A and B are shown apart, each in its own frame.
Chain A
């Protein structure tokens, strides 16, 4: 049933294909991290129409399948937008990035909401400009507590990369499919792909947990001397709840 010899023979190809998977994962993650921040800041815009459109876009992208969005991007939007159609990898990064930026924006939003209102007021009282308020007051406080949640989304994006095989990206799953089309032995190939994904997402999740523990320790250490960071740790609890719901 299980043929070790065959399994060993395809393993190097699968591992080599992980490189593409990682590129897509990190590319998509960085895109989503930047896009999510922009969406979250637009959600705080003083103009209500910007907030409403922003909300609508987020809801629409969040509530429709990534697979369909990938097809739409790859077959229509990107080829009509650019003179030369982007490669499958670039399209995949854009697709993952757009889809998960809507999720990330919620993470940022909870981080930004956790910054006490007094901070905004103080910035205004000290005559800080809008850009200055965001870059020097709000974001430095809002971002660190969101890091573990963002780490979880890195894992989620990693687990979504097999979808990119639909737009002809040769990542791990496509490589397995190609091997199967020669050998007609799906058992070993798909089992190996599953084991690879399990191991990598497990390692990632251990790293994220370590980061979370360290962050909590730093926060409790600082709250011992500085009472103003207490509301922030309250916000942290809210974030944790959100992770549990989404993870």
Chain B
């Protein structure tokens, strides 16, 4: 334990951490926006919108993230759409987790009691107002815990960008391992610990947010 060159590990892992956090934040934003959009389409009153959004969910949920990532990064250029590595990663991760998230949004909206919607209608709220002022604020509280879990899954999912040679934490750790082969267990343990801290950060934030949002509510 004494002769582990921890100080040689940190610079590379720090570089990797920056890439991991960058991709995680960007794809989390993409996933959140997508889940809200697709989730709202899933409860639309137009049947076509509902069906199309459901097909989107099924496709992007049914594809393994790694296959989706490879498809976006390696196959899409053949259709004339070429993204750089970070954009490909954000698109693939955003689509995949956005599809899971849309299911959370949909079930949270459907879980808001019908009386709320009826009361809003009785008070002459327009459908848009009904959604923004009445339904979504109540649904948001229900969405929070599952979205927290989804974000942790998303952070774990960012490790896959190593496959398209983005220099994230996992990638840097494997380089370190090549340089210090005898230190393999320490490098991997440190790597796992960093990921654990990252996801704990998310779960603590979600818990705090939940307490704040739930204040003054039944």
Contacts and interface: CB of A to CB of B under 8 A. Distances in A.
Given A190-B67, A194-B68, A197-B63, A63 B107 contact: no
Interface in B168-207: 170, 173-174, 177, 184-185, 188-189, 191-192, 195-196, 199-200, 203
B75 interface: yes
A77 B146 CA distance: 33
B19 to A, nearest CB: 14
Interface residues of A, number: 38
B27 to A, nearest CB: 14
A71 B190 CA distance: 13
B156 interface: yes
Nearest to A2: B78
A1 interface: yes
Query: Which secondary structure dominates where chain A touches chain B?
Result: helix
Interface in B154-175: 155-160, 162-163, 170, 173-174
B79 interface: yes
A245 B149 CA distance: 8
B64 A162 contact: yes
B70 to A, nearest CB: 5
A161 B67 CA distance: 10
Interface string A38-81: 00000000000000000000001001111111011001110000
B152 A63 contact: yes
Interface of A: 1, 60, 63-69, 71-72, 75-77, 159-163, 165-166, 173, 180, 186-187, 190-191, 193-194, 197-198, 201-202, 205, 244-247
